[in-house]
């Protein structure tokens, strides 16, 4: 049993006596607060905080971290308040304890929301003081060590959370020892049968490997000594979760995974690391493409080492890691090594500390732009699972990004304003689409333009949490502004049916209508109308209802213009589009210019373009979806005529609109290029093309092209018909 006296003995090895006394005082306070409380195992609760403090003491953390570890559950599980801790100790200790504590005083709609909000609180506290997460990781390690007492379902839930959140955090902070232990403990709790089977297999195979490992280790040591290199050479064995993951992801058998021998070589300096690399490459031939230099370009958590794979004796592969003693210490303890430097009053910069600080700054940016705690947690998870690529800015700065990152991710990694205004990219000095996935070693140059805006389609390919958060944040505000403008236009149009305008509606009636709909203000009402969540006609009727009682004249006018009944059938008769049998005296169709933005969408089924007769359908949360009048999807929607709205194109439309054309061509070499060139000649962009073979003689080319209007499309069709290989061309609709 680990006692407070044991803890104090550990601390006296690296801590001042007065600091050890502060830790003991924190223990007395915590023991008193937890008096009478027991864990599920039946042992006194205070043993858990002591065990957490021991884990941090093994990392040689500072005394305030140890104090906070001993006190970490007093706010959450006892009557102790944060103010009391600040008064008894100091504000720094109180903030650390509060950062680790869950939100227990707030009621959430679901467990998922509660978990997300608690993690949001934890990450924000962590951004203020990184020690918060170190205490939380130590807490999780001890909980996982004692998880066997938990019911199976709770055990699996905690194990899954550990593997999904805490393991990636430990990895992100470079704390390899913590990461490995949490992985294996989580694996054992989540899949006990698989763990047991794999553990038995490793034990059986270990005996057969011992002789081979010793021979290879002796050969490496002998060659290094011959070259005058002093080094510590250790054989490494993959831990169980790593073996399991490799078997599962790469679909390998156990023998294929375990038939890899690994060694770690620790030397005194960076220069000797590279000399050692040359020595082992002379001893055993290196495997092409398997060398990685994490010393020149450290990993995102500050990890540094040389990695290489060699052809060993007996035809077996050998994985070798070469690093300095300092690199090894940082690789094992990561960000925690920063406090050891502080204890020794050294100013040596720690790479993992710098990397962690950069990540935390990114977390704060994400938090400010995330709408909900669930969205924030989703974006954090994205950043916690990076398979890294390294690319260069035009000035030679190395930018680290997750695997599959695109130039848009790169732009947002440099600065939010660059991301918001990027319009194009040059990769290795060649213009490339923004959705191109970046590769290590490329030079990326972002081209920006004043007034450029994020494109909603970027969300389909960006991979970093920062890029996704800022694009969503911008679009959310853009959608709100556009919805306000469209909502006002729709409401004014509906009020015109009652010979009214918003300026003539009394303020009292506006206030009453907002209250009736349980909204915050008039802007919220307009936004609801613009997004299609509320019908402008019904709002207009309510506003007009108050006006008819103002004067006899207005009363007469209101009676004359209001529908004869309140049912949807009567509303439809008067306000439905005239082509569906509506009243020809219905309000003037709403004019569409083509630049309304994301709350006016164009249906993919019929792809309307300026010049086409059009109709609008309200889609909740999206606004108006524009269809062609004869679109079968609109014809099939007569069950909900109240969601339709008459539309027309402005006389001067702007922008480009996608349209699909099918070109039947004779099956000849180069015909696709010929047709594509003809489209480009008439200033149309090709968004997509599909090729479908019909028979041996003919092929169908299906293009999605952007045009300005029907006249532009007609000229393109005429131009393509003039090509000898083209037998037929039509505009298609689904």
Q: Does 181 lie in the same domain as 308?
A: no
Q: Does 178 lie in the same domain as 38?
A: yes
Number of domain units in the chain:
4
| Least confidently predicted of 93-97, 328-332, 411-415 | 328-332
In a domain, 458, yes or no: no
| Least confidently predicted of 54-58, 87-91, 402-406, 591-595 | 591-595
Reply yes or no on whether the pLDDT at 595 is more than 90.
no
Render the burial of 518-556: b for 16+ CB within 10 Å, e for the rest.
ebeebebbbbbbbbbbbbbbebbbebbebbbeeeeebee
* Listed residues 172, 190, 208: the one ending a domain: 190
Q: Which residue has the higher pLDDT, 62 or 382?
A: 62
Reply yes or no on whether 6 is catalytic.
no
pLDDT tens-digit series, residues 466-486: 888 888 887 777 767 777 777
Q: Does 233 lie in the same domain as 134?
A: no
| Least confidently predicted of 235-249, 399-413, 587-601 | 587-601
Q: What is the secondary structure of 504-564 as a DSSP string?
A: GS-HHHHHHHHHHTT-SSHHHHHHHHHTTSS-HHHHHHHHHHHHTTT-HHHHHHHHHHS-S
Beta-sheet pairing, 317-324 with 261-267: parallel
In a domain, 325, yes or no: yes
Q: Does 167 lie in the same domain as 236?
A: no
Q: What is the secondary structure of 582-630 as a DSSP string?
A: --TTSPPPEEE-S---TTEEE-TTT---TTS-EEEEEETTTEEEEEETT
At residue 346, the pLDDT reads: 44
Q: Does 124 lie in the same domain as 26?
A: yes
At residue 597, the pLDDT reads: 63
CATH number of domain containing 259:
3.30.460.10
Reply yes or no on whether 43 is catalytic.
no
Q: pTM for this one?
A: 0.54
In a domain, 363, yes or no: no
pLDDT tens-digit series, residues 342-393: 444 444 444 555 665 666 566 556 555 555 555 555 555 555 555 667 788 8
In a domain, 427, yes or no: no
Cβ neighbours of residue 123 under 8 Å, at least 6 residues apart? 363, 367, 376, 380
At residue 576, the pLDDT reads: 44
C-alpha Rg value of the chain to the nearest Å: 34
Let me know: does 298 contact 351? Beta carbons within 8 Å.
yes
Cβ neighbours of residue 503 under 8 Å, at least 6 residues apart? none
Q: Does 315 lie in the same domain as 261?
A: yes
pLDDT tens-digit series, residues 107-119: 434 556 666 666 6
**pLDDT above 70 covers what percent of the chain?**
79
In a domain, 316, yes or no: yes
Q: Does 202 lie in the same domain as 277?
A: yes
Selecting among 22, 35, 62, 77, the annotated active-site residue is 77
In a domain, 401, yes or no: no
Mean of the pLDDT values across residues 502-522? 82
Q: Does 242 lie in the same domain as 144?
A: no
Q: Which residue has the higher pLDDT, 266 or 522?
A: 266
**For the chain, how many residues are written?**
734
pLDDT tens-digit series, residues 562-572: 333 334 334 44
In a domain, 462, yes or no: no
Average pLDDT, the chain: 80
> Residue 248's domain spans which residues?
194-343
Q: Does 66 lie in the same domain as 147?
A: yes
Distance CA 466, CA 363 (A): 8
3-class SS string, 311-353: ECHHHCEEEEEEEEHHHHHHHHHHHHHHHHHHHCCCCCCCHHH
Mean of the pLDDT values across residues 426-430? 89
Beta-sheet pairing, 600-602 with 623-628: parallel
* Listed residues 638, 654, 670: the one ending a domain: 654
- Can you tell me which residue has the tokens 């003991």? 24
Distance CA 253, CA 30 (A): 50
Give me the sign of the Cα torsion angle 478, 617, 497, 587. Answer: positive
Let me know: does 2 contact 54? Beta carbons within 8 Å.
yes
Q: Does 143 lie in the same domain as 66?
A: yes
Distance CA 454, CA 422 (A): 8
Q: Does 210 lie in the same domain as 174?
A: no
**481: phi then psi, degrees, rounded to nearest 5:** -65, -45
CATH number of domain containing 662:
3.30.70.260
In a domain, 512, yes or no: no
At residue 114, the pLDDT reads: 61
Q: What is the secondary structure of 66-93 as a DSSP string?
A: HHHHHHTTHHHHSS--HHHHHHHS-HHH
Q: Does 11 lie in the same domain as 75?
A: yes
* Listed residues 343, 363, 380: the one ending a domain: 343
| Least confidently predicted of 455-464, 593-602, 627-636 | 593-602
At residue 374, the pLDDT reads: 58
| Least confidently predicted of 337-346, 554-563, 585-594, 605-614 | 554-563
Distance CA 469, CA 458 (A): 12
- Can you tell me which residue has the tokens 């073996």? 243
**pLDDT above 90 covers what percent of the chain?**
25
CATH number of domain containing 69:
1.10.3210.10
Selecting among 6, 35, 62, 76, the annotated active-site residue is 76
Mean of the pLDDT values across residues 31-39? 90
Q: Which residue has the higher pLDDT, 198 or 106?
A: 198
At residue 468, the pLDDT reads: 86
């Amino acid at each position: 049993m680990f006692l407070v006296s044991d803890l104090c003995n550990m601390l006296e090895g690296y801590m001042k006596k007065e600091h050890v006394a502060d830790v003991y005082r924190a223990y007395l306070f915590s023991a008193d607060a937890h008096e009478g409380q027991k864990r599920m195992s039946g042992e006194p609760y205070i043993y858990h905080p002591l065990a957490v403090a021991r884990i941090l003491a093994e990392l040689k953390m500072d005394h305030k971290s140890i104090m906070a570890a001993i006190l970490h559950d007093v706010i959450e599980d006892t009557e102790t308040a944060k103010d009391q801790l600040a008064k008894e100790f100091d504000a720094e200790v109180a903030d650390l304890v509060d950062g680790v504590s869950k939100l227990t005083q707030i009621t959430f709609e679901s467990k998922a929301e509660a978990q997300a909000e608690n993690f949001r609180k934890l990450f924000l506290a962590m951004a203020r003081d990184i020690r918060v997460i170190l205490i939380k990781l130590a807490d999780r390690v001890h909980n996982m060590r004692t998880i066997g007492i938990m019911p199976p379902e709770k055990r699996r839930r905690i194990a899954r959370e550990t593997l999904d959140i805490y393991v990636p955090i430990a990895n992100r902070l470079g704390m390899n020892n913590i990461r490995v232990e949490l992985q294996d403990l989580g694996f054992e709790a989540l899949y006990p049968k698989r763990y047991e089977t794999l553990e038995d297999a490793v034990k059986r195979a270990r005996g057969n490997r011992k002789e081979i490992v010793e021979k290879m280790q002796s050969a490496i040591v002998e060659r290094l000594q011959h070259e005058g290199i002093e080094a510590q050479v250790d054989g490494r064995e993959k831990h169980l979760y790593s073996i399991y993951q490799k078997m599962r992801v790469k679909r390998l058998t156990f023998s294929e995974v375990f038939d890899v021998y690994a060694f770690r070589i620790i030397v005194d300096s960076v220069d000797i690391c590279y000399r050692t690399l040359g020595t082992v490459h002379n001893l055993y031939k290196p495997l092409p493409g398997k060398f990685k230099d994490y010393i020149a370009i450290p990993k995102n958590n500050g990890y540094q080492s040389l990695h290489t794979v060699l052809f060993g004796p007996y035809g077996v592969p050998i994985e070798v890691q070469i690093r300095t003693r300092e690199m090894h210490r940082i690789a094992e303890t990561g960000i925690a090594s920063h406090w050891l430097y502080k204890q020794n009053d050294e100013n040596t910069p720690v790479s993992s500390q710098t990397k962690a600080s950069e990540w935390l700054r990114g977390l704060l940016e994400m938090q400010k732009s995330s709408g909900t705690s669930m969205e924030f947690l989703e974006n954090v998870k994205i950043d916690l699972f990076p398979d890294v690529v390294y690319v260069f800015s035009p000035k030679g700065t190395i930018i680290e990004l997750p695997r599959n990152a695109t130039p848009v991710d790169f732009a947002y990694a440099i600065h939010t304003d660059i991301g918001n205004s990027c319009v194009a990219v040059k990769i290795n000095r060649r213009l490339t689409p923004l959705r191109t996935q970046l590769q290590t070693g490329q030079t990326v140059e972002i081209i920006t333009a004043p007034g450029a805006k994020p494109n909603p389609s970027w969300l389909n390919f960006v991979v970093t949490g920062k890029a996704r958060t800022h694009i969503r944040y911008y679009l959310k505000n853009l959608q709100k502004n556009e919805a306000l403008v469209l909502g006002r236009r729709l409401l004014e149009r509906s009020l015109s049916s009652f010979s009214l305008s918003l300026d003539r509606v009394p303020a009292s009636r506006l206030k009453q209508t907002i209250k009736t709909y349980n909204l915050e203000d008039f802007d919220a009402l307009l936004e609801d109308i613009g997004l299609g969540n509320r019908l402008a006609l019904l709002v207009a009727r309510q506003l007009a209802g108050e006006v008819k009682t103002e004067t006899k004249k207005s009363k007469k006018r209101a009676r004359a213009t209001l529908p004869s009944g309140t049912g949807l059938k009567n509303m439809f008769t008067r306000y439905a589009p005239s082509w569906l049998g509506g009243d020809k005296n219905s309000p003037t169709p709403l004019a569409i210019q083509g630049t309304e933005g994301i709350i006016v969408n164009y249906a993919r089924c019929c792809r309307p373009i300026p010049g086409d007769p059009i109709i609008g359908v309200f889609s909740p949360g999206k606004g108006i979806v524009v269809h062609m009048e004869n679109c079968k999807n609109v014809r099939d929607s007569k069950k909900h005529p109240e969601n339709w709205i008459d539309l027309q194109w402005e006389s001067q439309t702007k922008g480009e609109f996608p349209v699909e054309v099918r070109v039947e061509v004779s099956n000849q070499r180069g015909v696709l290029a010929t047709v594509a060139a003809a489209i480009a000649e008439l200033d149309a962009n090709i968004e997509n093309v599909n090729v479908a073979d019909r028979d041996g003689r003919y092929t169908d080319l299906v293009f999605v092209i952007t045009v300005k209007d029907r006249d532009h499309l007609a000229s393109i069709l005429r131009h393509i018909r003039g090509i000898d290989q083209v037998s037929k061309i039509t505009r298609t609709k689904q």
